[in-house]
Amino acid sequence: MNRLDTWLWEALQEDLEHGDVTAECLIPREARGEAVVFGREPFVLSGVSAFERVFQLMDSSMQTACLFQDGDEIAAGAPVFRLQGNVRSILAGERTVLNILQRLCGVATLTRRMVKALEGLPCRLLDTRKTTPLWRFLEKAAVRHGGGRNHRFSLSDGILIKDNHIAAVGGVKEAVRLARQGAPHTLKVEVEVDTLGQLKDALEAGADVILLDNFTVEKLREAVALNGGRVLLEASGGVTIDTVRAIAETGVHFISCGALTHSARAIDLTMELFPSPHFSAS
């Protein structure tokens, strides 16, 4: 049982506990039917394998089909998934799978909107570690399906010196020096700066990547000039669909945005069931 399966199984258990008392009263154990899932608004798809595995885990005889791929743009009302099998199994998984998809598609859809706003510019849109706890691997995939790129996955796979680190060691220069000395030789050293002064320190100390936190567009332009193409620059803070293009046009290499994963609105998805005509045991 791989990571996704374990995750989905826990999600199913949360909603099923000791069983679906409504369906057990109403639906014959062997009743069969079909169902389709569609959106009531347009969206970018993410979560295809979650959908398929949820129903496989519940009932290995379920037939599932996905008519699109992760990353596709789907029109309102278009059938995205089809299901064929035991009606009780379909109903038992319905809410869980919609709860998963509505969130992942929400993240992918918001990401796609921002990426489109950057069209024609070399700047890349990044996510952050501001993800929903227990959902990081899924939300980071949804960002990719939306066209964004992933920043580091966890505290283990990248050096990023932040304000609290700098406060702790006493300055940008000392922080970068310590990181260069102690970091695994396979990792670059990234440091967050709040001012142009700190930016100069970071450049002098030999940082590989510099995160410009809450810089105005004007300050970003100065920062890009100051850098003169030496290191990679990442802008963060105040990134919205309205500001993202102006930020990118300053010439920074990356823009990172926490809202992609922590505040995307859920997509309105629904499942419609078509019981088989005679609704009898197979």
Which residues are part of the catalytic machinery? 95, 130, 162, 192, 213
Beta bridge partners of 275: 33
Which residue from 105, 205, 253, 257 is in contact with a second copy, where contact means CB under 8 A?
253
Scan residues 67-86 and list those touching a second copy (CB under 8 A). Answer: none
Scan residues 96-155 and list those touching a second copy (CB under 8 A). Answer: 96, 98-100, 102-103, 126, 129-137, 149-155
Which residue lies nearer to a second copy by CB, 112 or 151? 151
Decide if residue 282 touches a second copy (CB under 8 A).
no
- Specify whether the CB–CB gap between 261 and 128 falls below 8 A: yes
- Calculate ∠ Cα 195-252-239, nearest 5°: 75
Minimum distance of a second copy from residue 63's CB (angstroms): 18
The pair of structure tokens assigned to 232 is 């990679």
Which residue from 76, 217, 225, 273 is in contact with a second copy, where contact means CB under 8 A?
273
Stretch that binds a second copy, among 68-76, 198-206, 222-230, 255-263 (CB under 8 A): 255-263
Which residue lies nearer to a second copy by CB, 172 or 244? 172
Provide the 3-class DSSP secondary structure of residue 45: coil
- Specify whether the CB–CB gap between 62 and 50 falls below 8 A: no
Stretch that binds a second copy, among 113-121, 187-195, 197-205, 213-221 (CB under 8 A): 187-195
Residue 60 buriedness (CB in 10 A; 0-12 / 13-18 / 19+): exposed
Scan residues 14-43 and list those touching a second copy (CB under 8 A). Answer: 14-27, 31, 33, 35
Please name the helix (run of DSSP H) or strand (run of DSSP E) that holds residue 224, with its range, or none.
Answer: helix 217-227
- For the chain, the C-alpha Rg in angstroms (whole number) is 23
Minimum distance of a second copy from residue 25's CB (angstroms): 4
Which residue from 117, 175, 210, 260 is in contact with a second copy, where contact means CB under 8 A?
175
Query: To the nearest 10°, the Cα dihedral for 5, 6, 8, 10?
Result: 160
Query: To the nearest 10°, the Cα dihedral for 53, 59, 60, 62?
Result: -80
Scan residues 207-246 and list those touching a second copy (CB under 8 A). Answer: 209, 232, 234
